[in-house]
Amino acid sequence: MGLNPCCGISLQNGARAVAGVEFFTSGAFFLTGLIIVQKFAHSWSWGDADVPSLLFGIAYLIFSVAQFVLTVYLFLGANQNNSRHCMKWFLGAWILLVILIVFAACETYQGRLTANILWAKPVLLGFTSLLKLYCIWVVFEFISDIRHFDVDSTRKTPI
């Protein structure tokens, strides 16, 4: 058990709040993927097919579904004080953070951004990464708290 990162609220409520934020961001990624795939479907012609855009759209859809499933585990774990469910989210969050950084790097490298918003991607990536790291910290402290409580509640005291 370390420092409480939730500014005075319980770690359980903090983990629930993280689940709410994650539900919102998974929905945003899903909408982004749908917009990209829809744009590709409407502009499809055999001569100028933009296959990398379609692949990015599909990757966003897969990413958002994975994040949604992991967030369900976090929400259930936070409500039931189940460290195993929370740990699934914790490990998956690290993997998704790396994937998010790779997505951003690939999009920037492929030139998917116009010149006037090129600055927005690093700023948005930095904010999203810091938010994700903070969420990971909150859930880590919650898992530690659950495990500490389980050890204390199962310890037998001598008579």
Tell me if 157 is assigned to some domain.
no
Cα separation, 53 vs 126, whole angstroms: 23
Is 2 a domain residue?
Answer: no
pTM above 0.85, yes or no: no
Per-residue pLDDT of the chain (159 residues; tens, 9 = 90+): 567 788 888 999 999 999 999 999 889 888 888 887 887 777 665 555 566 777 777 888 898 999 999 999 999 999 999 999 999 999 999 998 898 888 777 766 666 554 445 556 666 777 888 889 999 999 999 999 898 877 545 444 444
- Return the axis-axis angle of helices 120-154 and 11-42, rounded to nearest 10°: 140
Q: How many domains does the chain have?
A: 1
Q: How far apart are CA 105 and CA 94, in angstroms?
A: 17
Q: Which domain holds residue 45?
A: 11-148
Q: Would you say residue 5 lies in a domain?
A: no
| 124 falls within a domain | yes
CA distance 39 to 36: 5
